[in-house]
Structure 1
Amino acid sequence: MSKPIRTNTLRQAQGEREGFVALVPAEVDVQAIRKAHKQEAFARTYGFSLASIRDWEQGRRQPERAARILLAMTPRNLRP
């Protein structure tokens, strides 16, 4: 049985390292993240389909949870 988040957070603050908590953004601005790269290069680098990149940027869809985690981890200072 898993422990409540509050208990885990308190235990981690006290120095215990029993797992981690991933903070997943509810929404991401894909265009701002990839700003210096062409859609094709960004999609190829991170393993997304070009259609997904376009849909996300045009507001037709939001990335799934796993994609939001990966996007949140991409370096903000990417150079082409």
Structure 2
Amino acid sequence: MSDPTFVIAVAALVGLMVVVVALLRGWHGWLALKERELERERRHEAPEIEGGAAVGAARIEIADLKERIRKLEAIASGVDL
């Protein structure tokens, strides 16, 4: 039982187990952090419109579309701009 090789082997296995447990806890903590970041982004992010534009860009795009519609309506009614 007190063979030095056996003691070294047991100590190495215990040390390996400690390292593995620490790494697994760190991995689970990192995954939990990333999940929280994704949840925060989903809650705070406004819905996107086509093309992946965010809220500010969406307003500009909508204003641009309204301007185009106004011009097309003017052309259709025969009014020069």
TM-score, normalisation: structure 1: 0.18
Q: Which structure carries more helix by proportion? A: 2
